[in-house]
Amino acid sequence: MSAFNQRIQPLRDLMKAKGLDAFVLRRNPNLAWAIAGRAHVPTTIDMACFDLIITQDSAIAVSNVVEAPRLIAEELPSEVTVQVVKWSEGRDPLLPTGSKVGSDQPGSDRVDLGAEIEIIRGSLIESDLARFKEICVDAAVALGNAMKQIESTDREIDVAGLISHSLWQADLEITFLGIAGQDRVHRFRHPLPTTAVVGNRVSASICAKRKGLIASVTRIVTFGEVTDQMVSDYTSIFRVEAALLNATIVGNTFSEPINAAIAAYPANGFDADEWTKHHQGGPTGYLPRDWPANQASTRLIAHNQPIAWNPTGKGWKAEDTVVATTSGAQILTNDPDWPTHELNGRARPLFLQR
């Protein structure tokens, strides 16, 4: 079975179980998953540049004359045929509707099975997992290479330029880029880069994408004296992360790692309410996060499911991308040239001292 058909088979099984004749995929992350490719043109909107009609024996992409040639040449698997509309026409008239048609979003009298699709694409098939592992390493290395070029006199936007250049050279698109220097790292959990000079510390977070799959990584560089308190605070946030990783077990609910983190914050020198000041992460893959996990999350952690946890506190952040396996969480965003420390048998990043 081809990778495309292997990916789509659970969707076809869902259609059969629901008594559906067809399924319409419309959302960017779901289309990127289906074709293992780029479904977007602008990155700022959820609407994709095509829709995909799935039946038990066919897959038809509906796109316009602008996008169809590129999609056929560069993105769509051979199993997908294409229907083309004028650029001035909408795609909706070509899409099936009614109670025998499912979709990944509500509307047009179709059966909304968006949550079910999210669960299906939450488990990567082996070929996609292999591709994702390469993406994660490339993202971590590209970020690390850029961070090694930073000077304390750089502005946050200069850092953003270095990272953007490094990511694009590694064939990685930028989904999110957060930069904080010494004056902003304690104030904001999602620091979009500004003209502020970074000073004695810079923290950089990325969500980097290739053919739909997204790797999340945070790395930190310091300049000047390193105090014992700095080392203690930074390694302590990784002890909170360790609680998250230890509870990232296939079959656990997503609430279990969150509850473990909530207990780990005060046990490692943070305020008991530290966890309330920023989400702790959650399932990822085709979005930076499908949703932030919380105490009420009842969905189960699936085999081969990408997850990115991101505990924060005292101006420090731990963030890497992992995949849940039957033998525990496997960290994917590894950079062999970045300094590390060992915690619970795992090599975890240290800040790079310049």
pLDDT at 78: 96
Q: Give me the residue label for tokens 């300049």.
A: 223
| Dist. CA 32–CA 168, nearest whole Å | 19
Q: Give the pLDDT confidence score for residue 167 in this predicted structure.
A: 98
Domain with CATH 3.40.350.10 in the chain: 3-121
Axis-axis angle for helices 28-35, 3-18 (nearest 10): 130
State the SS3 of the chain. CCHHHHHHHHHHHHHHHHCCCEEEEEEHHHHHHHHCCCCCCCCCCCEEEEEEEECCCCEEEEEECCCHHHHHHHHCCCCCEEEEECCCCCCHHHCCCCCCEEECCCCCCCEECHHHHHHHHCCCCHHHHHHHHHHHHHHHHHHHHHHCCCCCCCEHHHHHHHHHHHHHHCCCEEEEEEEECCCCCCCCCCCCCCCCECCCEEEEEEEEEECCEEEEEEEEEECCCCCHHHHHHHHHHHHHHHHHHHCCCCCCECHHHHHHHHHHHHHCCCCCCHHHHCCCEEECCCCCCCCCCCCCCCCECCCCEEEEECCEECCEECCEEEEEECCEEEECCCCCCCCEEEECCEEEECCEEC
Degrees, nearest 5: CA angle 197-187-173: 65
Q: What is the mean pLDDT of residues 120-148?
A: 98
Q: What CA dihedral angle connects 135, 141, 143 and 148, to 10 degrees?
A: -170
**Is the model's pTM score more than 0.85?**
yes
Q: Is 109 exposed, middle or buried (0-12, 13-18, 19+ CB in 10 A)?
A: exposed
Whether domain 3-121 has CATH 3.40.350.10: yes
- State phi, psi for 217 to the nearest 5 degrees: -145, 145
Average pLDDT in the 251-277 region? 97
pLDDT for residue 243 is more than 80? yes
Domain with CATH 3.90.230.10 in the chain: 126-353
Buried b (16+ CB within 10 A) or exposed e, 7-26: bbebbbebbeeeebebbbbb
Cα–Cα nearest to 107, from 43, 19, 47, 60: 47
With cut-offs at 50, 70 and 90, classify the pLDDT of residue 45.
confident
Give Cα separations from 105 to 24, 46, 115 (angstroms).
9, 11, 9
Work out the pLDDT band at 278, boundaries 50, 70, 90.
Answer: very high
pLDDT exceeding 90 applies to what percent of the chain?
96
Residue 42 has pLDDT above 90, yes or no: no
Average pLDDT, the chain: 96
Q: Report the CATH superfamily, name and number, of domain 126-353.
A: Creatinase/methionine aminopeptidase superfamily (3.90.230.10)
Minimum mean pLDDT range among 103-112, 123-132, 166-175:
103-112
Mean pLDDT across 91-111? 95
For the chain, give the longest Cα–Cα distance. 66
Cβ atoms of 286 and 214 within 8 Å: the answer is yes
pLDDT at 108 > cutoff 90: no
Cα separation, 5 vs 59, whole angstroms: 10
- Is it the case that residue 316 has pLDDT exceeding 80? yes
Q: Are 252 and 300 in contact (CB under 8 A)?
A: yes
Average pLDDT for 86-113: 95
User: Strand pairing partners for 312?
Assistant: 317
Task: Please say if the pLDDT value at position 46 is more than 80.
Answer: no
